[in-house]
Amino acid sequence: MNPMNLAALLRRRLRALFRRSAVEREMTNELAFHFELEKQERMRAGASSAEAHRAAIHAFGGVDHVKEAYRDARGTRPLENLIQDLRYGVRILRRNPLFAAAAVTALGLALGAALAVFNVVNGVLLRPLPYRDPERINIIWLAWRWDDGNVSQLPLSSGSYSDIERDSRSFDAMAAFRAWPYAIAESPDAEREAVAGARVTPALFDVLGVSPVVGRAFTRAEAVPGGPNVALISHDLWQRKFGGSRDIIGKRIYLGDAPFTLTGVMPPGFAFPRGAELPAPFQFGTRTDVWTPLVFESSDVSNYGVQNLVAVGKLSERCGTGRCSASAAQAELTTVLRRNIPLNDQPKSAYKLVSMAEQAAARVRRPLLILLGAVAFVLAIAAANVTSLVIGRVHARERELAVRSALGAARGRLARQLVTENLVLCLLGMAVGLTLAFWGTKVVLLLVPGSLPRADDVGFDWRVLSVAGLLALIAALGFGVAAAYAARLRFTRAAVSVSRTRRVLVMTEVALSLILLIGAALLTRSFISLQQVRPGFDPSNALTARVTIPLVGRPQPLVDGARWSATFDHIIARLASAPGIVAAGGVVTLPLSGAFENGGVRPVGKVYENGRNPSAQVQIVAGDYFGAARIRLVAGRVFDASDDQSGRASMIVNRKFAREHFGSEADALGREVTALFEWARDRPPRVIVGVVDDVKTVSLDGDAPPQVYVPLSQLPAYALTLVVRVSGADPLAALPLVRQTVHEVHSSATLKEIRTFESVVADSLAPQRFNMTLIATFAVLALVLAFVGLYGVLALMVAQRRREIGVRLALGATPATVVRALLGEGLRVVAVGVTIGLAGALAVTRVLSSMLYGVSTTDGSVFAGAAAFVGLVAVLATWIPARRASQVDPRTALTAE
């Protein structure tokens, strides 16, 4: 058929559907005209009017019959039936608002929860990353195999990066980048704003396939030693700071104290690297706002010692004869490594490619899938609930369905209508669900500010909408089939199996909600134990804020270190003497903030096997850090003014370090340790002057690692987190003082991450809080649905048996015996449900094991408590209708109907 005819056909069909009354009128007119001519023909042949009429009717063959054949030929019948059924479905729902409201609410709530979680899962795990050919973009790590078999993924040194960038043939483009905090201002005198920045090699934009929307990216020629100061900014920062003005392109902006030429603005939404997608110690901001060239000096090209670069490469589409595989590229890179670094450790290291999507998703995949599982339970409970309601409706509509069946409606036609009616229900539920999911997703994302990878990529797309549509369709089909089945059972007088079906549904609801409740209770218990963990410091009454001294060019601690150290000492000294301040100090990597650094240490006089060289977590501290954080001194002394640049190089270690290397705390004092993380080479060993308590720096649920502390005056840094202990109850009250002091000591230093120490600790539990809150929400939702379901079944049972109860009461049964009998029936259902739920929980809670702290996955008290609670709720749901039954007046019950 040619397209013109197709268009004409479509027009005819649409007209038949949407101008139905006009089409029908035309048909009636046409047939009437035909009939009229038929009659006239006979009259012309001499028949009387009455005879002609009869004969015409005979020839015509029944107007209605012709009309039906005519309509069938229109080809829109199935659709017309559907529309008719939909209309009927809407009418049915409007006639039963209570049923409709209950079903739509249950479906809407469950679908809302399910779609919100799926929306997040979709954004974080399923959606392609917002770059070109994201499946080919890989992070390149240096995999280091420890003696115990563990493998660490380490960043690259500028030396090894230069080697692979020069020698590898497996990539279309390769780039390196690292975090770089900046303080931005429009003019030298304007107030600076701390922003997350990154220094990147220009090829980064080729790897990602993203170019500026305004202006241009910086070029390779600009990213050379002695090159110009150029920068790119994010669309967001451009709008916020510069009002989206195009005039700013090519103009000067100030990063720190240095002028930079702004070459361009990146597209809206582009914020690579986004902190949550890479390991926390790299300290990338949640969203990166400023990009400047990463420049390799000639000395960097051969520097294999400092591993601080993240490398990213876009695999070539073809390598030699075949497709480029990640494993082939890894092998090629490792060959390059072997060729360039002749180290004895070689067999322990190799390159490892991790696709960028996997890098982002790996950390959160398990918890997200657990949430998806939990929400599937809620969905199943809601489905059981609505199925139960729908079956109940069939009971109420028995008469109507019987009449329609008697009038000749085919069984298939009736079943189709039941499915269509439920489609109306499910579409309404889906609409409510999508609305709830839209807001629910926002709430979910608010629970994990900055710590959920790819949070920016979460948003409704075709996948979420198709899943919503699919769920609604499956539900409609399921409910319709259940209703049709129930209707058939009723016609065959098998009412018993209908109520048995409903009982099984309620059992399922009880069992599923108990499993969810146990999961939620385990996570809550775990969260409570985590909050009771003593971190080794006292987070109360302390304010923390990160001070960054702006840099020009690369950090040169050997040149500028003394100045940095003096600045921080000055700030801390002024704060310490201010009224209301109990103690003030600073630390480079604040405990539980996500940042930490490790370094090699060699206790003097001890020999370690090759490959078993010890390392420790390095904390660079200033002022009275131990006093401000209330970290207990176990032996020796804390740092004081004597531990300065000119004094003896000193070190404080934690108990774990002391015990591990020297046997006891006391034995560690006075011992010497060579630190491999000194700024300058060939520094003399440090002497241990004190031993302090272990501090949980990485997470509350892990043990503290061996830790060493060195004074900032001897190992300078340009960024420090102040810890200020106040005498008052509100640490934030000290903020104006801190701001003013920092500004007075160093006018262009920036302050950010201003938080109370307590909120730092609380934020470190954000993932746990996220899981606990969501699963607890789902458990409550499940319990409410199960309660309503149980109540509904019991209430119906009581309604159906009013007469029987009336007879019993009339025959002398006391209300108490009636209540007891009904209660017994309800509780049997509940007991079976609880038993199944407990068994199910035993099998299922194992998936939570890695997320629990201080509570076993089969904790007896949690299981018993949850079962008791569900039982209590169930008794309540049973008792209300049972009690109502006992209040039946035998006279009205017997005369009713």
Partner 1 sequence: MTPQDRSRDVVQGTLDMLVLKALSLTPMHGWGITNRIGQITKGVLTVNPGSLYPALERLQDRGWITADWDTTENGRNAKYYSLTAAGRRRLGTETESWRRMAAAIEAVLRTT
Nearer to partner 1, 63 or 126 (CB): 63
The interface region with partner 1, picked from 63-71, 195-203, 298-306, 508-516 by CB under 8 A, is 63-71
Tokens, residue 473:
């369709």
Euclidean distance between CA atoms 273 and 291, whole angstroms: 10
Q: State how far the alpha carbon of 206 is from the alpha carbons of 53, 335, 521, in Å.
A: 86, 25, 49
φ, ψ (nearest 5 deg) of residue 118: -65, -35
The pattern of x and - marking residues 74 through 113 that bind partner 1 according to CB under 8 A reads xx--------------------------------------
Q: Please choose, out of 72-80, 118-126, 194-202, 408-416, the segment that lies near partner 1 by the rule CB under 8 A.
A: 72-80
Instruction: Give the C-alpha separation, 566 to 569, whole Å.
Output: 5
Orientation of helix 495-532 relative to helix 462-491, angle to 10°: 140
- Nearest distance in Å: CB 71, partner 1: 9
The dihedral over CA atoms of 811, 814, 815, 817, expressed in degrees to the nearest 10, equals -100
Q: How far is the CB of 44 from partner 1 (least distance, A)?
A: 12
- Of 24-32, 112-120, 632-640, 877-885, the segment contacting partner 1 by CB under 8 A is 24-32
H or E stretch at 291: strand 290-293
Residue with tokens 């194992």: 846
Q: Is 53 in the site for partner 1 (CB under 8 A)?
A: no
User: Could you tell me the smallest distance in angstroms from the CB atom of residue 63 to partner 1?
Assistant: 9
How far apart are CB 408 and partner 1 at their closest, in Å? 21
Say whether residue 879 binds partner 1 (CB under 8 A). no
**By CB under 8 A, residue 61 contacts partner 1:** yes
Parallel/antiparallel/unpaired status of strands 650-654 and 686-692: parallel
Using rule CB under 8 A, residue 66 touches partner 1: yes
- Give the rounded distance of the alpha carbon of 614 from its chain centre: 37
d(CA 321, CA 514): 57
591 closest CA partner among 719, 738, 763? 763
Q: Which of 17, 31, 83, 766 binds partner 1 (CB under 8 A)?
A: 31
Shortest Å, Cβ 40 to partner 1: 10
The stretch near partner 1 (CB under 8 A) out of 5-13, 84-92, 150-158, 186-194 is: 5-13
Nearer to partner 1, 60 or 485 (CB): 60
What the block records as the tokens of 731 is 């640490």
Tell me the C-alpha distance between 349 and 304, whole Å: 13
Q: Does 252 bind partner 1 (CB under 8 A)?
A: no
- Residues 114, 383 contacting (CB under 8 angstroms): no
Tell me the closest approach of the beta carbon of residue 69 to partner 1, in angstroms.
5
DSSP letter, residue 704: P
Name the nearest CA neighbour of 328 among 356, 353, 358, 357.
353
Q: Is 1 in the site for partner 1 (CB under 8 A)?
A: yes
**45 binds partner 1 per the rule CB under 8 A:** no
Q: Is 30 in the site for partner 1 (CB under 8 A)?
A: yes
* Helical packing angle, 495-532 and 356-396, nearest 10°: 140
- Per CB under 8 A, does 26 bind partner 1? yes
Q: What x/- string results for residues 361 through 400 when contact with partner 1 is judged by CB under 8 A?
A: ----------------------------------------
Residue pair 855/862 in contact (Cβ under 8 Å)? The answer is: yes
**Minimum distance from CB of 82 to partner 1 (Å)?**
20
Which range in 53-61, 474-482, 513-521, 841-849 contacts partner 1 by CB under 8 A? 53-61
Q: Which stretch binds partner 1 (CB under 8 A): 68-76, 181-189, 203-211, 349-357?
A: 68-76
CB 360 within 8 A of CB 347: no
Nearest to 368 by CA among 438, 442, 422, 444: 444
**Shortest spacing between CB 19 and partner 1, in angstroms:** 14
Q: Which 231-250 positions form the footprint of partner 1 (CB under 8 A)?
A: none
Helices (H), 813-886: 815-844, 860-886
Q: Is 343 in the site for partner 1 (CB under 8 A)?
A: no
Task: Report the candidate in 240, 226, 200, 196 with the shortest Cα–Cα distance to residue 248.
Answer: 240
The conformational region for residue 138 under phi > 0 = left, psi -120 to 50 = alpha, else beta, is beta
Rounded to a whole number of angstroms, the minimum distance from the CB of residue 68 to partner 1 is 9
Q: Which is nearer to partner 1, 60 or 144 (CB)?
A: 60
Phi, psi of 290 (to 5 degrees): -135, 135
- Among 9, 402, 872, 880, which residue sits at the site for partner 1 (rule: CB under 8 A)? 9
- Greatest Cα pair distance in the chain: 137
Q: How far is the CB of 416 from partner 1 (least distance, A)?
A: 24
Verify binding: residue 57, partner 1, rule CB under 8 A.
no
Q: Which of 29, 540, 556, 895 binds partner 1 (CB under 8 A)?
A: 29
492 binds partner 1 (CB under 8 A): no
- Residues 6 or more apart whose CB falls under 8 angstroms from that of 628 comprise 542, 582, 583, 584, 585, 723, 724, 725
* Residue 889 found at the interface with partner 1 (CB under 8 A): no
Closer residue to partner 1 in complex, CB, 41/701 = 41
Q: Return residues touching partner 1 (CB under 8 A).
A: 1-2, 4-5, 8-9, 12, 26-27, 29-31, 33-34, 37-38, 41, 59-62, 65-66, 69-70, 72-75
